[in-house]
Structure 1
Amino acid sequence: MDTLQVESTARPAAAPRLRADATRNRERIITAARELFVENGATVPLDDIAKRAGVGNATLYRNFPDRSALVRAVALSVMGRILVRAQQALADDRDSFEALCDYVRAASEERIGALCSLLSEYVDLQHDEQLLAARTELEQAVEDLMARARLDGRLRPDVAPGDLFLALAQLTRPLPGTGCLKLDLSTLFERNLIVFLDGLRAPAISALPGRAVTTEDLRPS
């Protein structure tokens, strides 16, 4: 009887550890997938992702039965981190334009331009309620950031969130060809990001053609 009692009290204690391990494995897989998707594109072998994550193939497939499920998880993870940075920028009581710049730098570190093609190919953004909700929340946070900087006279008035998202997607795309490998890409990226941010400042020194791009303009027709 005593042995049975010891066993019955010991068994439940192991479950939380197993759940914690499973959560860590899942997060390692998502992190490795994001890195390899950025480095090598959508067709990187899932076995390579499992290897970088330090888990077995069975663990990867138990969490993500196919590539689409993994891409979706990466998208949600990236949007979640970017949203947190936008919320932090909104809570920052420093200069409103500098807070916006902090968000843009944080978002650029996610290399969303390299991930955009993945989303369009593997994820149905128009019918995935969780992704749609995450995107809507992120867009609203960025709109609030830009509106605050615009109200303070620090952001030029003729730009909208769509302009910002498009620029980030373009700036963070992998460079074509191999000749650019001679360059310090991290420094090159930072230079171009600063040029872009300076172009957002008010007062603007030039007029932009057309109208500001909204997030609605980025929706598929």
Structure 2
Amino acid sequence: MSATGEATSPSRLRADARRNADQIRRAAIDAFQDNGLSVPLEEVAKAAGVSKATIFNRFGGRIGLIDAVIEEVVATELHPIIDRARAIDDVGERLVGYVSDIRDLQYRRSAFVDVMLQTYPDSPGLVELCRVGGDFNDELVAAARAAGVLREDFTASDLHALLRDNALSLKHGGRPSREDYDRRTVFTLEGIRA
């Protein structure tokens, strides 16, 4: 029975459940992109017009919700960055483009900072994005070293650390102006090139 005393059909319930799940997904995408993956679930629920319990009923909690939206929140931007870099023939330009694009994504999307820091290691979707990014970092550094465009002592681990340290700084430090941030990207690139 519904609140009005009418019988609630299973198809009506399924439609309501689907609508709630869609509303939660849309609210989570917006909240996670702008505020990171740690945004309180109460905020997501409020934006979706549902209770926090509904998030748990539909997605099992934060990890399930992250996995349900991580493609839209982060992967839709990370994969094109990697594809653009792979399309650049000159390895030095590929390195500059990739590092600049990743730092830009870190600056614009708090959720990507959480992915870089593996804030939720129990999320298979988040861990998979880290693996994809890490594999490309390794591939890029190997190509750049072979082409002689990187310092001889610069390794794939160093690139991982540079990008992770930048994520830590953005998450826990003061957020610089965009102008200062971009200027520091140039310093970073100049410091690692041969």
TM-score bracket, shorter-length normalisation = 0.5 to 0.7
Output the aligned Cα RMSD. 3.7
| Code of the aligned partner of 1:45 | P
Q: Number of residues paired by the alignment?
A: 170
Aligned equivalent of 1:96:
91
Change (3 A) 1:175 1:32: closer
Matched, 1:48 2:47: no
Matched, 1:200 2:192: yes
Change (3 A) 1:30 1:63: farther
Of residues 150, 154, 158, the one that matches 1:159 is 154
Q: SS at the partner of 2:170?
A: coil
Aligned equivalent of 1:30:
29
Q: SS at the partner of 1:119?
A: coil
Aligned equivalent of 1:219:
none
TM-score, length-normalised on structure 1?
0.59
TM-score, length-normalised on structure 2?
0.65
Query: Structure 2 stretches of 5 or more lacking a match?
Result: 1-14
Aligned equivalent of 2:100:
105
Distance 2:117 2:191 in 1: 29
**For 1:102-144, what per-residue CA distance to the aligned partner results, in whole angstroms no more than 9, with x for missing partners?**
2112222332784169734x4337xx4x555443332222222
**For 1:178-216, what per-residue CA distance to the aligned partner results, in whole angstroms no more than 9, with x for missing partners?**
xx57xx5222221222111111111xxxxxxxxxxxxxx
| Code of the aligned partner of 2:189 | L
Distance 1:170 1:72 in 2: 24
Change (3 A) 1:86 1:68: same
Distance 1:200 1:159 in 2: 7
What is the aligned-residue identity percentage?
28
Change (3 A) 1:25 1:132: closer
Larger CA Rg, structure 1 vs 2: 1
Change (3 A) 1:33 1:63: farther
